[in-house]
Amino acid sequence: MAERMLSLKEQNEIRLQELEKRAAEGVVFYGTDGVIIGADVQIGEGTVIYPNVIVKGETVIGKHCVLTSGTVIEDCTVGDGCVINATQCYQSVLEEDVKIGPFSHVRPGSRLCAHAKIGDFVEIKNSTIGVGTAVAHLTYVGDSDVGKNVNFGCGCVTVNYDGVHKFRCVIGDNAFIGCNVNLIAPVTVGDNTFIAAGSTITDSVPDRGFAIARSRQTTKENLGGEKLKDRVLKY
């Protein structure tokens, strides 16, 4: 005989009982609407959880973290003092004092080392992000090993897939990756390197190297007006 489905009222009672138990252990809830904490989850004292947060699986969260609304965490280990802002994290490790979000995605097999800063609209997949590295916004880092104190500009992509196989990028310590840079894996970027904005890098860059890979600008005078002469402006 099939088991009886719990009513919504019964489900909510069980959910609130779990939250009450967590509160007694020192977890702080800024409201309980939409908060779901799995029975196997471990959460450290002083961690703050906002409404509409889901934490499930074998997740372990340290002390004095902040999980803001919209966050989903499954099967992750999160160190002390992390701030996870409206972000989804799966089967990964966040070391202590990691700041991430809003609206980012940490996919399985990733490790964000201590003091890393991951901004808005960033996706990390099967990669290590080194200590103190900043991936500010609108960037994809997949299948990559990134060193410490690296700076990614806006719109960077590690191009890890050729349609058949996946390849890895290696980025050394203290590298500066300019905006709108494509790193075509497999490629290695050495320590203390500088990649100019708008570059597509297909060859490895040695330590302390400066790489620029973009064609020179050509400007045709008056041609812009000719191209736009038939354009109808709405406003």
**103: buried, middle or exposed (CB in 10 Å: 19+, 13-18, 0-12)?**
middle
Query: Under a CB-based contact definition with an 8 Å cutoff, are residues 53 and 39 in contact?
Result: no
Positive or negative, the Cα torsion across 102, 176, 186, 199?
positive
137 is catalytic: yes
- Which residues fall within 8 angstroms of residue 85, CB to CB, at 6 or more apart? 66, 68, 71, 99, 100, 101, 102
Q: How far apart are CA 24 and CA 196, in angstroms?
A: 52
Catalytic hit among 105, 115, 137, 165: 137
- Which residues fall within 8 angstroms of residue 112, CB to CB, at 6 or more apart? 92, 93, 94, 95, 98, 100, 106, 118, 124, 129
Task: Cite the beta strand spans of 50-133 per DSSP E.
Answer: 54-56, 60-61, 66-67, 72-74, 77-78, 83-84, 88-90, 93-94, 99-100, 105-106, 111-112, 117-125, 128-129
Element housing 15 (H / E): helix 8-24
Q: Which residues are catalytic?
A: 137
